[in-house]
A and B are shown apart, each in its own frame.
Chain A
Amino acid sequence: MIITNYGHFTRATGDSPYIMFFKNEEGQDWYEMQRGETDGVPKLVELGDQGVFISSIHPVWCMVNPQGVVTNVEFDPSRMVPDDKTILGFDEATLDDVKEGMLYQNGELLPAPEPEPAPYSLSKEIPWLRMTDAEAEDADQAFNSASVRFRQAYNSAASLTSGTDLWNQWRNILLSVFTEERVDELLAPET
């Protein structure tokens, strides 16, 4: 896979207020690049009547957001709107080789990171009901050792939602007395 970076484009002014223009760091206009009107850049795409795609100089194109995440994958560069996006062209690649969510870092395309687990809510009594009596004794002792602020917040909450500060504090309290595997079991979503 050979990657050609055409730069990071942002919105720019042009000769019409009704057209969205984009230019990269070198001031190169995205539309002019497509038409082959930019010095040193070959014509990117051939279009037929009514803009029907005919061919392109790369078989695969993608846009990357400022976080380095691939947001759009195309075979036709004219379909890409680089609104605060970086444009990459790929040779010796197919559409199966480039996927949304992949990372572009240091000139290389990396696999997409594992997605964050979706947040879920858990009734407060569920972890307690999953504990043995001995585990509940240990957990209760740790709970009572926590700050008043946490205990008041915990007692006031109707449920616990993963990813929140209250959830993370409760999880850390459980980790102080149980293994991580056991804590994950106790805080697992309800089925």
Chain B
Amino acid sequence: MAVSIKHKFVSNKADSQDATLVRPSNWNDEHNLIMNGSSLLGRTATGTGAAAEVTLGAGLEFSAGALRVKIGSGGLQPYFGDYTPVNRAGDTMTGSLVLQGGELQIRRDASTRVLRFANTAGEEQGIIYSDATGDNLIMRIKTSEKFRLTLGGTETTGRHTIKGSNRTWYFEHYTTGGYFRLVDVEGNAERWRVGTDGSVWTSQLGDLSTRIESRAAAWANDRVSQIASRLVSRAQGIVSGSSGTEGPSGTVVTGFSHANITSDVQIGYYYRYLQIYDPVRGWVSATYQ
């Protein structure tokens, strides 16, 4: 609406013919309010007084007949109407909040500092907060704490899932079984677990301790069942004169014979080597110390 300034009293008299005199139509006409450049009419001085021109400050401009606020290097924005101040508890801001070259600080003077996530109904879905000690940054999903980054390390709770291009695995502390486990999601089966007593289990080998014990027993039994012995490589020795002799170490005397009779008394003897079958080495010749 255009600005209109008139006298409160409106004359109903007809104008006279003399244009040099103020006529009723002149009295009833609009007044001219002359201002210099882009400015507002107002009063900046205290107390009661005459109105004056108020110039626009930084960030305020006239655009297409409207007063707009200029924010940074961006375009002019309406100063009122499209924006709601969000500086009070319970205020809601819509749209994206972009921080560039600055930081978002969340301060709270009480025991915790909280970044809270909620659904459209305002129901809490999760929070990230630091506790009163300042040594823990905690992520809670709904009512369950899931992740805690502490000054000395990291703690997590619940299931941790690792997705590959064609396989998904998760590991967790399985409360029901009381052990830590690795689960193949596509296979819908546990693949590995370790108990609080240190026992280790895999879907392929079962309990490793039991597996080792059974394999060791089977191996030992196999070794025993494979044991064999034999006498091989017959050779002949000669006892001559009055002295005696023994077969080479590790041999067994298996027979006697006449030997070539010269001037001395000679006795021939046969010996063989005792072999033991070792499933790892094969046939080996036994000896003694």
Contact = CB atoms under 8 A, between A and B. Distances in A.
B97 interface: no
Interface of B: 226-228, 230, 232-235, 248-250, 260-263, 273, 275, 277, 281-289
8 smallest beta-carbon distances between A and B, as pairs: A51-B277, A20-B285, A81-B233, A81-B273, A50-B228, A78-B283, A79-B232, A20-B287
A72 B233 contact: yes
Given A51-B282, A119-B262, 17 more contacts: A17-B289, A18-B288, A19-B286, A20-B284, A20-B285, A31-B281, A34-B282, A35-B282, A50-B227, A50-B228, A63-B233, A79-B230, A80-B232, A81-B233, A83-B233, A83-B273, A119-B260
B233 A119 contact: no
Nearest to A100: B234
B261 A161 contact: yes
Contacts of B288: 18
A81 B87 CA distance: 100
A32 to B, nearest CB: 9
A164 interface: yes
B8 to A, nearest CB: 124
15 contacts: A20-B286, A31-B284, A35-B282, A47-B283, A51-B230, A51-B282, A72-B233, A72-B234, A79-B233, A79-B275, A81-B233, A83-B233, A83-B248, A161-B261, A163-B262
Interface of A: 17-20, 31, 34-35, 45, 47, 49-51, 63, 71-72, 78-81, 83, 116, 118-119, 161, 163-164
A47 B233 CA distance: 18
B228 to A, nearest CB: 4
Contacts of A63: 233
Contacts of B235: 71-72
A42 to B, nearest CB: 15
Contacts of B282: 31, 34-35, 45, 47, 51, 78
Contacts of A17: 287, 289
A119 B261 contact: yes
Contacts of B281: 19, 31, 35
